[in-house]
Structure 1
Amino acid sequence: VLLGKESSTRSLRLELPHFTLIGATTRAGLLSAPLRDRFGIISKLEFYKKEELTKIVLRSAKVLSVPIEEDGAKSIAMRSRGTPRLANRLLRRIRDFADVKYEGVITKDVAEESLDLLNVDKLGLDQNDRAYLTAIVDKYSGGPVGLETLAVSLGEDSGTVEDMIEPYLLLQGLIDRTKRGRVATESAYRHLGLVQ
């Protein structure tokens, strides 16, 4: 460990027991090469498949004592972007909806209606995602449009747009990042119900 500044810098050696360090980031490119090279194993985590997420939703429902049918769990899994944390969050919101409006049982119809009320569509896009796509299509004729310009039109910080909205849209093939800016793909037009 280095202590002090400039000419008064001195090093202090600490004796530590052996340990394993596990790191995780969504921005591996921002790590310096020497730091990245010190990790013995580097791997990329993949999104969960719908079948795996369905099992996770069913298990979480059991833990929460929420009656759920398998088709209801599948509906939640389909709109969860391959992410258990999101699936569990949606399960809790749908549970609340089922408790208030129905008899507490999450069926496919209850899940679908709840997800529609939560503005989560069939691809798992929420209102922010759709606002992003709509802005590119309506305000900027499908693009290209720069990140900063797009962020301002959405009332968001460019970092938020780049880190929270764009990754899933890119993964789903709804946008392209080009040298000139962001462009809505044909899939985006179809998803929004528009003809290009």
Structure 2
Amino acid sequence: MNKLSYLMALLFCCVMTSHVLAQQSMIKPNVIIILTDDQGYADVGFNGCRDIPTPNIDRIANNGVRFSRAYVTYSVCGPSRAGIMTGRYQDRFGFGRNPLLAPNDTMQGLPLTEQTMAEMLQQSGYTSMALGKWHLGAHKSQYPLKRGFNEFFGFLEGGHSYFPQDGSSMMSRK
């Protein structure tokens, strides 16, 4: 997870540079960031995995930008996500640990003073969607739709049951 998270942060920087150049010529590129937890370097086909087929991810990697030597700035997922989502070193804004699932606590999550990449892209006319694990705060003010995303399908906390009893673990909003 560590290397891949940092890889995604670098990819974001490259995509944003590409975005600025493309905006000058009025062409807006599509931006796709795939962030996975606990994925090893060789867990995808384009990096040598033979036992788990990943043809779609391989195709994206082979037609896009790949970083083969990258590191994250934190060893767990929440702070790594915060760094990627903001483009900033997460300790600078106090996101030095995984947030707890605390829907009534505005301090458990990405500070509202931090701008997300979705908010930045929205200012440039982009529409964005977040899928899967959010883990950047469970208070209503920190929901993905309040942080620049137009759509969200996933779960707010750091983990969830794959077979929820009441269906409340997954969230879908437009």
TM range (shorter): under 0.3
Higher helix fraction: Structure 1 or Structure 2? 1
TM-score by length of structure 1 reads 0.22
- The higher radius of gyration belongs to 1
TM-score by length of structure 2 reads 0.24
